[in-house]
Structure 1
Amino acid sequence: MEFFMSEVIEVLERTPRVLEQYLVGLSEDWLQANEGEGTWTPSQVIGHLIDGEKYNWIPRLEIILSETDERRFPVFDRFSHLQQYHEWSIEKKIREFESLREENIGKLKLLITDKSQLEITGVHPEYGEVRARELISTWTVHDLTHIAQITRVLAKRYDQAVGPWKGYLGILKN
């Protein structure tokens, strides 16, 4: 599948609005649901997305596109959000995420001005050499993964309540 920046931006732009429509106004029982010990609530997922906007996607793209020879990414702490944001309302988290995302899409458009830049590489601490287009594609699929995760967590709250229909509800079959 070929990479198209316009398609990436379509998803990246929509994610904050999707999450706002999905989560704002839900009771705390929904927002604090999880899949068991060591799993994240929908509210915690939004904190993780905030951290990604701050410390992951654009900072790593800037490293890739830098003029230096050292293009090694710092480690991204995927769990730092668990120590932050817990006192924030879901509205505040989503507003912060939306603001950061809007800023980062603007930066993305300024940083990638030529298709050849998508093939420039950086060094991921775990995966080694990665291309700019792979990083940007991952950013997009990361959004979709967490939307799916939130949907699954919400559905599992009613795992037992659906009774015999559970057999028809694929989201509950994990």
Structure 2
Amino acid sequence: MDIPDALAQLARTPSVASALLLDLPDEWLHRDDGPDTWSAYAIAGHLLHGDETNWLPRIRLIVTHGTGRTFEPFDRVAMLTWDREPVAALLDRFRLVRARSLEGLSFLAPSDLTLTGTHPEFGTVTLSQVLSAWVAHDLTHLAQIGEVLAGRYRDDVGPYRRYMPALERFAPAE
């Protein structure tokens, strides 16, 4: 785990999400693949919610209190209860919250990576694992946005579908 590399990757996510979602019509933003799947808009909201309530608070808890303090459970679907706003406003909020999150990580030192906290499901985890999971979470959900958008053409690509495995996957609510 290299902290500067992780922060650089985390800094990219809002721009990538914006490039994928800004100026898309609502039928693209809000289409999903059926029950228990998320739309691209919901995925962007999930990324925002994670920044607000999950990743940085857990890292701060580890650094401040360490082992013995259990993380608050993360509500993975909270964004589904929010009032819908224009995607540009949602992405602006995400960009601002992510910038604050990155500022909040400026105190991290390599020696902090071995500190531990308690995940409510996994038990003891290191700060390195939490930070690594944050980066992987972002990348996973960016790919998921691409897959749900590509799904719009699932039935339109004809025989090309054979070479497009993303069209066989669905964006599960996770």
1:129 counterpart SS class:
strand
Q: TM-score, normalised by structure 1?
A: 0.93
* Unpaired stretches in structure 1, ≥5 consecutive residues: none
Instruction: Give the TM-score of the pair, scaled to structure 2.
Output: 0.93
Report the equivalent of 2:172: none
Q: Which position in structure 1 is the counterpart of 2:167?
A: 172
Aligned mate of 2:80, from 69, 82, 90: 82
Paired residue type of 2:136 = V
Aligned to 1:134: 129
Give 1:22 shift.
Answer: 1.1
1:116 aligns with 2:114: no
Does the Cα contact within 8 Å between 2:70 and 2:119 map onto a contact in 1? yes
What are the equivalent positions in structure 2 for 1:29-44 lying under 5 Å apart? Answer: 29-44=27-42
2:94 to 81, 88, 97: 97
Letter in 1 for 2:168: K
Q: Aligned-pair RMSD on alpha carbons?
A: 1.2
Runs of 5+ consecutive residues of structure 2 not aligned to the other structure: 170-174
Moved over 2 A (4+): 67-70
* Deviations, residues 80-123 of structure 1 (Å, cap 9, x unaligned): 11111x4211001100000000000011112x1x2111100000
In the alignment, the residues of structure 1 paired with residue 67 and residue 138 of structure 2 have an alpha-carbon distance, to the nearest angstrom, of: 30
For 2:133 and 2:115, the matched residues in 1 are separated by 15
Q: 2: distance between equivalents of 1:43 and 1:74?
A: 25
Distance in 1 of aligned mates of 2:66 and 2:51: 23
Choose from 3, 7, 10 the match for 1:9.
Answer: 7
Report the 3-state secondary structure (helix = DSSP H, G, I; strand = E; otherwise coil) of the residue aligned with 2:153: coil
> What secondary structure is seen at the aligned counterpart in 1 of 2:124?
strand
**Which amino acid is 1:8 matched to?**
A
Aligned-pair identity in percent equals: 35
